[in-house]
Structure formats: C-alpha cells, structure tokens
Copies of this chain bind each other. A is one copy, B any other.
Amino acid sequence: MTRVSSPETVSAAAGPVSCRSCDLYEICRRCDRIAIEEERGLRRTGALRTVRAGARLYRAGTPAHSIFAVRQGMVKTVRVDPDGEERIVAISLPGDVLGVEAFGEHLYALDAVALQTTVCCELPLSVLSERCARAHELASAIITLLSRETVDQTTFTRGSISERIIALILDLSRRRERRGLDGRRFALGMTRQEIANLLDTRIETVSRTLQRMSRDGQFDLSGQWLELRAAALLQTDRGALAD
C-alpha cells in the first residue's frame, strides 16, 4: 500500500480548498493577492508551488523568504534531532499556513515535507513588509513576539521518562540562563505531582527517576533544589544524559 493518489478521491483526501476557507485569506486579500477563484475573475498571481511527495517545501535553518498556505495535499513539519531522528511536529492540511516562524527569525525552524503531491500558495515576505510599510513599529514588535511563541513550544511528553525529565530540567536551566538567573542551581518550583502532570506520567515515577538520576550523579537533588553537575551543562541536546 502506498500513498493515496487516485484523482477522483483528491477532495476527500486533501483539497483543494477555496481561498475563502484558508487561514491566509485575510492576509492575501489585503495584499491584493487573491488570486485564485475570486468570484469570476480568477486572476492568478502565479504564486503557486507544487511539491511532490517526499520533497521539501523548505528546510530548517535556511533563510525564509516566504510563508505558505497549503491549497491541496498534506505536509508534515519535522524536527530532525542531532542524532538524525525525525520527529513529526505537526501535520498541515489544506488551508493551513506554514512557515510563520519566518516573521520573527528569518530562518525556517522546521523541515516541511510534502506527504503527497501538494500545491501551496507562496506569499513572499517582501510583499508583506511592503504593505506593512506604514504600520507602526509596535505592530511588528507584537508580531515578533507571537512568532517566537509559536516556535518555542517544547513538548515534554516524548521519549522515556528519564528523557522527559532531562528535557524539562535542561529547558528550565537554559531559560533561566537566558534571563540572567542561575541555570546551574535552582528550585524546580513545582511539586512532583505537577512535574508528573507536565511529563504525562505518575508522581511515583517522577520521584523514582529523580532519585535514580541523582544517585547516578547527573545532578544533586534535595527536595525542590537541584544542582546540575558540570558535565550535565556541557550537553546541549535533549536526551543527551538519558539513562
């Protein structure tokens, strides 16, 4: 069994959607970029891109010149771990917008890979900024903020429990350091119950795992207080200390 491709089932499979029901509609409209099937006009701006199954719409780390909307097909956004493992972050359906992280950083944060032959509308950032010219700088600051938020979403519910615990601790540590706080020794600030909830596990498992890791010398732990060992801080990647 391979991917769906029979022509007559395209709509049930994945689109295309009308511009009206696309998340990018209001923005395209304000940019005079509508585009397809607008009333009877049907003028196209030629901003369509077709990507075959398995091909990438964009790659993590590359300069971002456009945001995209899926018109037809499906796209997975993927984070590739340093060890080469793929983690699917989200699935985009027709009408969904891709690459909004381009607003803030001007780099894509994820790989966007077509799951099947996919047609996307491409909206260059240059068009947006041109239209935004008169907009107050405050607006762009808000946009930058929001944009960061969408990328920051780290999840702590993947992998083994020890991996999740390490991910949480290193996340707390790094975020504290970014704020000028002590990232080496700090209070967890959460009960074991709250940690368990966040990591989608049980309080007994959190307790046991923390104890074991502490015994194994990954950090010193005393109640709420945790102090990372020097070796731990050298690791930059989630899961690096697991087991």
Partner of A27, one of B138, B150, B194: B138
Q: Is the CB of B139 within 8 A of A140?
A: yes
Q: Is the CB of B187 within 8 A of A13?
A: yes
Partner of A4, one of B18, B24, B187: B187
Q: Is the CB of A181 within 8 A of B100?
A: no
What is the oligomeric copy number? Answer: 2
Instruction: Identify the stretch in A42-50, A155-163, A208-216 within 8 Å (CB) of chain B at 4 or more residues.
Output: A155-163
Q: Is the CB of B93 within 8 A of A176?
A: yes
Contact string, A210-238, partner B, CB cutoff 8 A, digits 1/0? Answer: 00000000000001110000000000000
Which residues of chain B have C-beta atoms less than 8 A from A240's C-beta? none
How many residues of A sit at the interface, in one of the four size bands? Answer: 35 or more
A171 to chain B: closest residue by CB? B91
Partner of A175, one of B93, B145, B187: B93
Q: A94-B181, A136-B132, A146-B146 are in contact. Are A141 and B26 (CB under 8 A)?
A: yes
A78 to chain B: closest residue by CB? B197
Which residues of chain B have C-beta atoms less than 8 A from A143's C-beta? 139, 142-143, 146
Q: Is A185 an interface residue when CB atoms closer than 8 A count as contact? A: yes
Partner of A157, one of B27, B132, B157: B157
Contact string, A142-156, partner B, CB cutoff 8 A, digits 1/0? Answer: 111111111001010
Q: Is A15 an interface residue when CB atoms closer than 8 A count as contact? A: yes
Q: Is the CB of B190 within 8 A of A91?
A: yes
Contact string, A12-48, partner B, CB cutoff 8 A, digits 1/0? Answer: 1111011001111011001100000000000000000
Which residues of chain B have C-beta atoms less than 8 A from A150's C-beta? 146, 149-150, 153
A131 to chain B: closest residue by CB? B138
Which residues of chain B have C-beta atoms less than 8 A from A103's C-beta? 142, 146
The CB with the most chain B CB atoms within 10 A, among A131, A155, A185, A225, is that of: A155
Which residues of chain B have C-beta atoms less than 8 A from A186's C-beta? 12-13
Q: Is A55 an interface residue when CB atoms closer than 8 A count as contact? A: no
Q: Is the CB of B132 within 8 A of A139?
A: yes
Report the Cα distance A150→B157, complex, angstroms. Answer: 18
Task: Name 13 extra pairs, CB < 8 A, besides A74-B189, A155-B155.
Answer: A4-B187, A4-B224, A12-B187, A88-B197, A93-B176, A94-B179, A94-B181, A100-B145, A128-B142, A135-B139, A136-B139, A142-B143, A155-B157
